[in-house]
Amino acid sequence: MKPFSFNNQKGMTLIEVLIASVILFISISAISYVSKAMLLNEMRLSRATERAFVFEYIQDEVSYRFEYERQREGEYQFAGSTYFWQVEVLSEKPVMTELAADGESSVANGTMVLYATSVFSQLSPSPKKIAEFKSVYWREQ
């Protein structure tokens, strides 16, 4: 009878299998964590980009409606969502003089209006302000 020898072993031991399993689990966990973080950041970036476009369109719409139609509140629908906006006039200052091209000054008839626009995502049950921007425009009198 031959004595048992470790040199002739043809398979893996239980400890080797456990160590390989732990290494495999750690690598799969790291890959899944990185994938999840990448997906969350991509979703956040997509949402921020969409909001930036929406707010740019809303700002143009509000500027037109406030300056030419004198509306102080309204709603804007974009991509299936409704956004509510409200304008608050912060300051109205008359312009005192106007410089001409030849360097002479003359009295101007107009007002500089500084206003702030607040954008809300919903009005009920409680309004949630999601953006605010300020604008200035010249109004002839």
Please report where in the chains the tokens 């509306």 appear, as a residue. Answer: 71
pLDDT of residue 21: 96
The helix (H) or strand (E) run that includes residue 29 is: helix 14-69
pLDDT of residue 91: 82
Q: Along the 141 residues of the chain, how does pLDDT read in single tens digits?
A: 556 566 666 777 889 999 999 999 999 999 999 999 999 999 999 988 888 888 888 888 888 888 888 888 888 887 777 888 888 888 887 776 666 666 666 656 677 778 888 887 765 566 778 888 888 877 766
- Tell me the C-alpha to C-alpha distance, in Å, between residue 55 and each of 50, 67, 128: 9, 18, 15
- Tell me the C-alpha to C-alpha distance, in Å, between residue 73 and each of 21, 54, 133, 135, 137: 62, 17, 14, 15, 17
